[in-house]
């Protein structure tokens, strides 16, 4: 990573040197000075464009750091709906294997309006990236795939492709069918049938992948349940729509997380 004097501004900073943050930062650093800011970074650099890539539940602390950088813009490329920051959407993927980061795909990245300069840096770094005027639609569509694939794959410890087949397909279909009216009420033009099609298509194109929630469960880490299924349930409540299958998965994942936490504490 480029090292600069403290007083200089970096064109780009990435907060969260984990799987996806490292993938973005490593490629960006080849074409533009890029600061990488971890949890324990002591001197916070100043930067123009800040990309937030911590887990959703670590966002408040990351945003406090981001604001200290006096940036022109802060954008989150995290999963889940995070109302406190402009959010883009990415299908780039990477995972951690011990201390090593394994890149899976540079994918395609949509940025909210106002982040054209960052988009140029990303394209120069080899990412397919552009500003999307309808970014909210893209975020809701990503949420749809996440809330239908993540809980099923995490609970039954299967890869994404398994969701297209019995016995799991029926669960993903129920989740997609329930999510459609909720997301429609939020502005995503989608029917239950289309929602099932979208989810099954994502499961097909990512068949070999382990979802982020499955990876978290396998590593004994906290999941982003609250910002994925939890976000959908909050929307459903707001629109007075029923989402009983999502509610059941939300509780099951919470119970599983607590079980993992409990066994970790017993081992200590």
Ligand X SMILES: NC(=O)c1ccc[n+]([C@@H]2O[C@H](COP(=O)([O-])OP(=O)(O)OC[C@H]3O[C@@H](n4cnc5c(N)ncnc54)[C@H](OP(=O)(O)O)[C@@H]3O)[C@@H](O)[C@H]2O)c1
The encoded tokens of residue 12 equal 């780009």
> Shortest approach of ligand X to residue 220 CB, angstroms?
12
Q: Of 145 and 174, which has the nearer Cβ to ligand X?
A: 145
E strand residue ranges, 114-240: 128-131
> Shortest approach of ligand X to residue 236 CB, angstroms?
21
How many angstroms separate the Cα of 72 from the Cα of each of 9, 13, 24, 114, 130?
A: 11, 11, 19, 10, 18
Q: Of 23 and 200, which has the nearer Cβ to ligand X?
A: 23
CA distance 37 to 256: 31
CA distance 138 to 207: 21
| Interface contacts to ligand X, rule CB under 6 A | 15-21, 37-39, 53-56, 58, 61-62, 65, 78-79, 90, 93-96, 212, 224
Q: Of 137 and 181, which has the nearer Cβ to ligand X?
A: 137
Contact between 162 and 153 (Cβ < 8 Å): yes
Q: Of 194 and 226, which has the nearer Cβ to ligand X?
A: 226
Q: Closest residue to ligand X, Cβ-based?
A: 18
> Shortest approach of ligand X to residue 79 CB, angstroms?
3
> Shortest approach of ligand X to residue 65 CB, angstroms?
6
> Shortest approach of ligand X to residue 91 CB, angstroms?
7
Number of H helices, E strands in the chain: 9, 9
Q: Of 54 and 125, which has the nearer Cβ to ligand X?
A: 54
Q: Of 66 and 236, which has the nearer Cβ to ligand X?
A: 66
Kindly tell me the burial class for residue 148, based on how many C-beta atoms sit within 10 Å of its own C-beta (0-12, 13-18, 19 or more): buried
> Shortest approach of ligand X to residue 127 CB, angstroms?
13
Kindly tell me the burial class for residue 130, based on how many C-beta atoms sit within 10 Å of its own C-beta (0-12, 13-18, 19 or more): middle
Contact between 69 and 13 (Cβ < 8 Å): yes
């Amino acid at each position: 990573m480029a090292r600069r004097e403290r007083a200089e501004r970096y064109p780009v900073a990435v907060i969260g040197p984990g799987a996806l943050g490292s993938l973005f930062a490593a490629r960006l650093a080849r074409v533009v000075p890029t600061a990488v800011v971890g949890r324990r970074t002591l001197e916070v650099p100043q930067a123009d464009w800040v990309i937030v890539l911590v887990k959703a539940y670590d966002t408040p602390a990351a945003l406090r750091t981001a604001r200290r950088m006096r940036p022109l813009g802060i954008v989150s490329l995290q999963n889940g709906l995070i109302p406190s920051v402009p959010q883009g959407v990415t299908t780039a993927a990477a995972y951690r294997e011990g201390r090593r980061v394994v890149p899976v795909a540079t994918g395609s990245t949509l940025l909210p309006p106002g982040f054209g300069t960052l988009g140029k840096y990303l394209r120069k770094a080899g990412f397919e990236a552009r500003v999307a005027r309808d970014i909210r639609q893209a975020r809701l569509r990503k949420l749809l795939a996440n809330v239908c694939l993540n809980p099923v794959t995490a609970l039954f410890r299967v890869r994404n492709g398994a969701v297209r087949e019995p016995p799991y397909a029926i669960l993903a279909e129920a989740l997609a069918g329930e999510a459609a009216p909720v997301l429609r009420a939020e502005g995503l033009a989608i029917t239950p049938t289309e929602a099932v099609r979208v989810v099954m298509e994502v499961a097909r194109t990512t068949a070999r992948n382990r979802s982020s929630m499955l990876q978290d469960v396998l590593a004994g880490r906290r999941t982003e349940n609250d910002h994925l299924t939890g976000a959908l349930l909050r929307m459903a409540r707001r629109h007075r729509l029923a989402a009983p299958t999502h509610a059941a998965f939300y509780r099951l994942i919470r119970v599983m997380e607590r079980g993992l936490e409990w066994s970790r504490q017993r081992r200590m």
